[in-house]
Amino acid sequence: MVQISLPEKSQIKKGKYFKDKTGSNNLKKVNVYRWDPSSGENPRIDTYEVDMDNCPSKVLDVLNKIKNEIDPTLAYRRSCAHGVCGSCAMNMAGKNGLACTTPHADIDGDIDIYPLPHLKVKKDLIGDLDGLYKQYQSIEPWLKSSSKSKVTEIFQSKEDRAKLDGAYECIMCACCSTSCPSYWWNGDKYLGPAVLLQAYRWIIDSRDEERQTRLKKVADELKLYRCHTILNCTSACPKGLNPAKAIAEIKKMLATANI
Amino acid sequence: MENKSPLSPHIQVYRWQISSLVSISHRITGIINIIAITLICLWISLIFLNESKFESINLLLSSKIGKFIILGITWSFSFQILSEIRHLIMDLGYGFELRTTKISGLIVIFGSVICTIIFFIIGKSFI
């Protein structure tokens, strides 16, 4: 059901203000969403004044600087720091992306940082992605081949391999799914762009033998057709992939194939 | 613990993209159009029932508010048609590149305004 406003316990309050102590002239205000599970209070926005003269170029560097030098209680996920692991996906300046690949110079004015939208928050910028992973599991993202030999490799032509380009690069950071209004309001049933892109990746794999079953499984009013080509997913993807097109291709296959 | 977790903000913080704006407008104009078509049908059927009532509604529509409503409906229809064409092309699997979606979205937004002006000028020459 479409719910525009946030529940009462999720309403955001004004938080603390951390004044700059370095005396720098090049300050930037960073507003960060905070929620502490042990306090039982509502989430709040803390504002930090950060010295930009001594800060590397990405938003993740800003967060690291805050955590190391200003407020060690800040919690967020990060790992590889160069756009490969997908841990630091968050909402920056109103758009989802990876903190480690988003330059803070691209953001005008204050930097607003929120967790990925419409998720249960575990702490600060950490959202609960369990639902998404369960959905990912439900599409059975592994090669299914019964007839072919288990000991020799299964060959694939260059053309067939090329079909996987733009689908296999996905790092499951959830930027796309959590940017989708359809997924916000039907996330329990609608699979969402990230999972559907992966479903597509296995449907078009020439080595997979369960294409029909996979298509049938995904052909569902709620699982697939809640995509209304809002295209927030494609504009959010930090890897430059196109989940919206993959979903359209699945729809096209279902419209033209005989199943 | 699980129930205590707040829901992270969504539509409150997410920046509007051209594509999402066109998408939501498509839905809103769709609802307006359904209501408008129903009312227009009722208005037309008044011809068979009662000429004087038909005339009085005619007068209402020639007032300033009436003209605004007519222009609004014209825009709503133009927007819906252009946006629907965009959706049809997308259903065929074309126009999903980020740049293309932005351009096609802008075409729908500005095109609907241009269509409204054209329809207005054509309509004016009839009266």
So what's the pLDDT on residue A12? 96
- State the pLDDT confidence band at B3, using cuts at 50, 70 and 90: low
DSSP per residue, chain B:
-TTTPPBPP-TTTPPPPHHHHHHHHHHHHHHHHHHHHHHHHHHHHHHHH-HHHHHHHHHHHHSHHHHHHHHHHHHHHHHHHHHHHHHHHHHTT---SHHHHHHHHHHHHHHHHHHHHHHHHHHHHH-
Domain residue ranges of chain A, discontinuous segments joined by +: 8-127, 130-256
Stretch 76-135 of chain A: residues touching chain B, C-beta under 8 Å: 91, 93-95, 112, 114-122, 127-128
Q: Which two tokens stand for residue A165?
A: 């380009």
The architecture that CATH gives domain B18-126 is Up-down Bundle (1.20)
So what's the pLDDT on residue A94? 95
Question: Residue A58: helix, strand or coil by DSSP?
Answer: strand
> Over the stretch B100-109, which tens digit does the pLDDT of each residue have?
999 999 999 9
Residue at token pair 């509502």 = A42
Residue B9 has its nearest CB partner, among A9, A12, A230, at A12
> Which residue, A172, A169, A190, is CA-closest to A181?
A190
d(CA A95, CA A223): 24
So what's the pLDDT on residue B54? 77
> Over the stretch B23-77, which tens digit does the pLDDT of each residue have?
999 999 999 999 999 999 988 888 888 778 778 888 888 899 999 999 999 999 9
ipTM of this complex prediction, to 2 decimal places: 0.89
So what's the pLDDT on residue B1? 46
In total, the C-beta contacts within 8 angstroms joining chain A to chain B are 107
Residues of B in contact with A122 (CB under 8 A): 5
d(CA A117, CA A115): 6
Position B81 pLDDT exceeds 80: yes
| A42 part of contact set with chain B, CB < 8 Å | yes
Residue B12 has its nearest CB partner, among A6, A119, A234, at A6
Structure letter (DSSP) for residue A149: -
So what's the pLDDT on residue B55? 81
pTM: 0.92
Residue A10 has its nearest CB partner, among B1, B7, B90, at B7
CATH class as words, domain A130-256:
mainly alpha
So what's the pLDDT on residue B57? 82
Longest alpha-carbon distance in chain B: 68
Choose which CATH entry (1.10.10.10, 3.40.50.620, 3.90.1150.10, 3.10.20.30) describes domain A8-127. Answer: 3.10.20.30
Report, as ranges of residue numbers, the positions in chain A whose pLDDT lies below 70: 1, 148-149, 259
